[in-house]
Each structure stands twice: as C-alpha cells, then as structure tokens.
Amino acid sequence: MNKKLNTALFLIGATIANLLMIAIMWLVPTFLYMKFLAPFVSNNLTGLIEVVFFIAAILGTYWLYNAILGKIIAKIDMDKYFDPIFRKKKH
C-alpha cells in the first residue's frame, strides 16, 4: 500500500473510532441516568443533564483521542507510512 492509501484508511478508521467513542461516552451515562435517576428528576432538568452529558462526551472524546493518537505517534514514524494532509505553501 502507498502513503496516500494509508492516509485515507487511517482517516476513515480514526473518524469511525472517534464517532464510536463519542457515542459510548454519551449513551452509557445517558442510559444509566435514565434507568436510575430520571424518574426522580423533573423533565426540565433532564434536558439540561442530557446537554451536559453530550458536552462532557465531546470533551472526553477529544482528550481520549489525543491521548491515544499521542501514543501512536510516539511509537510509529508517521512520515514513513502516511502522506501529509496539508502541505506547506511554496513561495
């Protein structure tokens, strides 16, 4: 496989992994909240809690994704296997 194909497959895989992480980090707390706490809380507060869960999932996924990618970058020479996505402008 060439660098361009490696880059494309990496981007597709990373995007899918990122979407799965955000879904898990949002749906698991939401499920647990709805199962155990929602019957005791007003509907207005439930909506706000859902927004907080969603924002926390985005932030948590951002942190986890960067941590995983940092470990991958430390172990693998990215320039050897992947084509740069953005190239520097030539003057």
DSSP state of 41: S
pTM exceeding the 0.75 threshold for the entire prediction:
yes
Name residues whose C-beta falls within 8 Å of residue 25's C-beta, 6 or more positions apart in sequence.
56, 57, 60, 61, 64
Determine the Cα–Cα distance for residues 30 and 47; give it in Å rounded to an integer.
11
Determine the Cα–Cα distance for residues 32 and 24; give it in Å rounded to an integer.
12
pLDDT digits (tens, 9 = 90+) for 3-60: 889 999 999 999 999 999 999 999 999 999 999 998 888 888 988 999 999 999 999 9
